[in-house]
Structure 1
Amino acid sequence: MDFDFSWLLLGLPIAFVLGWLASRLDLRQLRLENRQAPKAYFRGLNYLLNEQQDQAIDAFIEAVQNDPDTQELHFALGNLFRRRGEYQRAVRVHEHLLSRGDLSRADRERAQHALARDFLSAGLLDRAEAALQKLEGTAYENEARLALLAIYERSREWAQAEAVAQKLDAAGQASYATRRAHHLCEQAQELSSQGAVDAALGLLRQAAELAPEAPRPAIDLAALQLRAGDAAAAFETLRRLSEVAPLALPLYAAQLQQAAQGAQRVAEAQGLLRARYAQAPSIDVLEALMALGASPSQAEDGAAAAAAPAGAGDNPRDGYLQHLRHQPSSLVAASRWLSRERFTDDAQTHAPVQKALDQAARPLLRYRCAACGFEAHQYFWHCPGCQAWDSYPPRRVEEL
């Protein structure tokens, strides 16, 4: 039987046409799918720019469903969940990324960092700590260390905080010497409360060497020396501090006064306190001077002694009057001067007037954080409001 070549000639064009149609259909389907994903993506971006986060999330979810292998969409979706406070959904997105075997190293580190931020935002500090520790040696190492430092300081784990701050210090991007000194002081405070005074003294000396211009190590060291009965060592510690940190003298003026009396160095302490008071009048420095039996100004003492009758300068309230000459608006000095007055003609009205003045002056005795404005009667080295270090000026609200 002979083969009819006419069928072959007729079938080749038909096969070519069918193949071409099939390829066009596949190409059209591919283009349609590719159009759908970008449209959903750009729609999500548009919603995001218009701060319509709910609609943006829906659009990104649609884009992820159309193209589940797109990492950027997953990252965008996870960040949106975190910003909306849906931390569990953000965690699931980033954990899904980490479970993928085809993820590049850079994207895996990025997903690990995003997961740690999810845990931090959710307040899951233990899980955040574990996630941040996995970023050691990555491009996010420095950010992870800063976050770990904040966690340890917030949870008062001072030994771990000092270890992380030491790594940051060694990296050379910034100096953490003063912050490390604070960590050592916190550890010393805990040891001192447990009765381990010698270990506490060792940590405080280490902190003073680490940050010689920071006032806290010397102040805490002098306090322990006073407790141990070594007033001479305490006075010498505070005297050296007054040379490198004179602005902080109001914080340790009372300690300086106690150490001077115990070490029999009253005249030297009076000179230090008078010099600081002349530069910046302070109620704390004033009261330390008055406790040492002196008034703020030596020159004023001589003039007053020449003009006043015998015994007129012996009243300790005269110091408050001199302070009012320097600070006429000082309600604290006026209230404390009035509290030492003795009224014989109208004694019954003294108590309510004094009470009203004391209540009005009490807010002026607070310290105020320069970073967040948090006020407290106690001086804080670490602000409980914003967690900043050394953010409180060493002067009370009235003196700012």
Structure 2
Amino acid sequence: MDFDYFSWILLGLPLAFVLGWIASRLDLRQLRIENRQAPKAYFKGLNFLLNEQQDQAIDAFIEAVQNDPDTSELHFALGNLFRRRGEYERAVRVHEHLLSRGDLGRVDRERAQHALALDFLKAGLLDRAEDALRKLEGTPFEAQARLALLAIYERSRDWLQASEISRKLQTAGQGDFSGRLAHYLCEQAIGAEPQEAERLLRQALELAPQAARPGLDLAALQHRCGEPAGALDTLVALMDRAPLAVPLIARPLLEAARASQQPQRALQVLQASYAQAPSLDVLDAIVALDASSATPRDGYVRHLEHEPSLVAAARWIEGEKFEREQFHPQVQRALEHAARPLLRYRCAACGFEAQQHFWQCPGCQAWDSYPARRVEEL
């Protein structure tokens, strides 16, 4: 029995060695096959992506990820594709899977955190996007994260948080945000009590003295509080600091001058401004104030000497008498209809047009992108 036992051992050892060798060869062969399949699927996905075949590209990248689940670049490519297609839930799952990996390096972890924040932003999940962006403080994505946070706070009208982020961006040398900070103070003043609103607006004036909005809002507040003379002083001072905004200042100046019974002072200031830079809005205010002139509307004709203007021509014709007066209303309506689009304001950033002037474009959300002059004068 002992001889048979050892005989079987002696026979079994070579057999086990042969079986182990065969198994290792099979494992190596399988590994080579998988390694060949992974780059093949990867390049196939790239080819589909270059040909703008996103569905096929996603299938190829999913196959590549299944063959090599430890490759982070494949996950990033797949997550970005999902986000571009609007499949935000799948993009979130990909990037959260990356962040859950313990072997992920710091650089890739920060990159995955930034990609996850973009997924939430695109999906409109602002609370989760805010949390994800806050985690990017102190990373190479810090500046981008702060700009995204600023957009979130502006969208949600959280002006205090927006002010905090703007100050951080300015301190970090990312640009001059003083004008935007002044807008935030003006926005806070809208719903405040008069005394608090005046404090905020004067703070905005100190922060951005050349900005037009704080002075205009302060003058409007003074007018509402029964101080038209103060409003007039504020607007006259603003015309010196912000000459490009004079077309926006002309109408409030006219109203403050009438309320404070100082039409001559306003008329002199407007005439001096018009002589330097002719403007239809300034001319309208001059015509309204120039009661001493026998033919105040002749100013519109003189304006045509500076530049051709359908608006000015229509306003002059409106007050004129003609031989065939019965046709005057029809002609006047036609001219006003043709001139109406020329009275709009146009955003310099996106081209969005509106009948009223906006400090922040409703289309692209850019600040101070609307010139003070109307379309016809651009």
TM-score (norm 2): 0.90
Task: Choose the corresponding residue for 1:283, options 276, 280, 283.
Answer: 280
Of 195, 199, 220 in structure 2, the residue corresponding to residue 198 of structure 1 is 195
- 2: CA distance between counterparts of 1:12 and 1:89? 52
> What is the distance in 1 between the residues matched to 2:309 and 2:41?
66
1:336 corresponds to 2:333: no
Tell me the equivalent position of 2:300: 320
**SS where residue 387 of structure 1 aligns?**
coil
**In the TM superposition, what is the alpha-carbon distance from 1:264 to its structure 2 partner?**
5.4
- Picking from 207, 212, 215, the partner of 2:209 is 212
1:166 to 2:200 alignment: no
Superposed CA deviations along residues 81-133 of structure 1, whole A, max 9, x for unmatched, are 11111111111111222233333333222222111111221222233223222
User: How far did residue 202 of structure 1 move?
Assistant: 1.0
Q: Give the deviation of 1:80 after TM superposition.
A: 0.6
Is the counterpart of residue 355 in structure 1 residue 352 in structure 2?
Answer: no
Count the aligned residue pairs: 376
| 1:142-177 CA distance string (max 9 Å, x none) | 211111111222233323222221221222221111
- Structure 2 residues without counterparts, runs of 5 or longer: none
Task: Give the C-alpha shift of residue 364 in structure 1.
Answer: 0.8
SS at 1:27 equivalent = helix
Match of residue 382 from structure 1: 360
The 1-side partners of 2:17 and 2:123 are apart by 61
Moved more, 14-23 or 57-66: 14-23
* Cα distance in structure 1, aligned partners of 2:330 and 2:264: 39
Distance 2:65 2:237 in 1: 65
- Deviation of residue 15 (structure 1)? 7.9
Distance of 1:314 and 1:123 partners within structure 2: 61
Q: How far does the alpha carbon of each residue in 1:297-321 deviate from its partner, in whole angstroms, 9 at most, with x for none?
A: xxxxxxxxxxxxxx9x412222222
1:16, distance to aligned residue in structure 2 (A): 7.2
Aligned to 1:126: 127
Deviation at 1:52, TM superposition (A): 1.6
| In 1, Cα distance between equivalents of 2:332 and 2:41 | 72
Question: Where in structure 1 are there 5+ consecutive unaligned residues?
Answer: 295-310
Distance 1:36 1:205 in 2: 68
- What's the Cα RMSD here? 2.8
Indicate whether 1:180 and 2:181 are aligned.
yes
Q: 1:136 aligns to what? A: 137
Secondary structure (helix, strand or coil) at the match of 2:166 reads helix
User: Is the counterpart of residue 103 in structure 1 residue 97 in structure 2?
Assistant: no
- For residue 362 of structure 1, what is the amino acid of its counterpart? R
The aligned runs of 1:283-302 (5 Å cut-off) are: 283-293=280-290
Partner of 2:78: 77
CA separation in 2, counterparts of 1:334 and 1:74?
64
Aligned-residue offset at 1:271 = 3.4
SS in 1 for 2:191: helix
Larger deviation: 235-244 or 87-96? 235-244
**2:187 alignment partner AA:** E
- Partner Cα distance (1:272, 1:93) in 2: 64
What letter is aligned with 1:353?
V
TM-score normalised per structure 1: 0.85
| Secondary structure at 1:314 match in 2 | coil
The answer for the alignment partner of 1:50 in structure 2 is 51
Map Cα deviations across residues 201-239 of structure 1 (whole Å, 9 max, x no partner): 111111111111111111111111122222232222222
Query: How far did 1:396 drift?
Result: 0.7
Using the alignment, how far apart are the partners of 1:15 and 1:86 within structure 2? 52
Alpha-carbon spacing, 1:8–1:226, altered in 2? closer, same or farther (3 Å): closer
CA distance in 2 between counterparts of 1:63 and 1:206 reads: 58
CA distance in 2, matches of 1:70, 1:254: 64
- In structure 1, C-alpha distance between the alignment counterparts of 2:199 and 2:16, rounded to whole Å: 92
User: Identity of paired residues, percent?
Assistant: 70
Match of 1:302 in 2: none
C-alpha separation between the residues in 2 aligned to 1:287 and 1:44? 64
Distance 2:267 2:358 in 1: 27
Q: Are the aligned partners of 2:357 and 2:370 in contact in 1 as well (CA < 8 Å)?
A: yes
| CA–CA distance in structure 2, aligned partners of residues 342 and 87 of structure 1 | 66
1:250 to partner: Cα distance: 0.5
Specify the alignment match of 2:231 in structure 1: 234
Once the two structures are TM-superposed, the CA of residue 8 in structure 1 deviates from its matched residue by 12
Give, in whole Å, the separation in 1 of the partners of 2:255 and 2:46.
67
Query: Superposition pairs for residues 257-268 of structure 1, below 5 Å?
Result: 257-263=254-260, 265-268=262-265
Letter of the structure 1 residue corresponding to residue 312 of structure 2: A
Q: Which amino acid aligns with 1:287?
A: D
Of 105-114 and 213-222, deviating more is 105-114
Q: Give the partner amino acid of 2:360.
A: H
